[in-house]
Amino acid sequence: MGRFIVVGSCGILVCVLASLYTIGNLLNEIEELQVEFQDGMIEFRAITQDTWARMVSKHINPTGKTDAPPTFQTLFGTHAAPGPDAGYCPCPSRAAAYKA
């Protein structure tokens, strides 16, 4: 009976050690994944900031050359709907709706 307890205890010890080793490897993998994700996000943020700066500069002035600071109106301004002289519109149903 004593030998059975020793063998069982050794088996459990091996299982616990294997579990601890597996947990360590999993934590290492998760850390590597987190670092890779953070690096990707840093690169993504740089790309989006560059893209946003280009969009703003082109939206303010199509040539991209202006010293005027962007305002809310220049960035997000809306264009008025066609007025009563919208007869030039090539879409007949829409143009008919705007004719006086």
Is residue 14 scored above 90 in pLDDT? yes
Is residue 25 scored above 90 in pLDDT? yes
Q: In the prediction, which pLDDT does 83 show?
A: 60
Q: What confidence tens digit (pLDDT) does each residue in 47-89 have?
A: 999 998 888 777 666 555 566 666 666 666 665 665 665 556 5
74 in any annotated domain: no
9 in any annotated domain: yes
Q: Can you give the residue range of the structural domain that contains 23?
A: 1-57
13 in any annotated domain: yes
**Higher per-residue confidence, 33 vs 77:** 33
Distance (Å, rounded) from C-alpha 52 to C-alpha 73? 16
Overall domain count for the chain: 1
Q: In the prediction, which pLDDT does 55 show?
A: 80
72 in any annotated domain: no
State the pTM of this model: 0.47
62 in any annotated domain: no
What do you get for the CA distance between the two ends of the chain, in Å?
A: 105
Distance (Å, rounded) from C-alpha 98 to C-alpha 82? 7
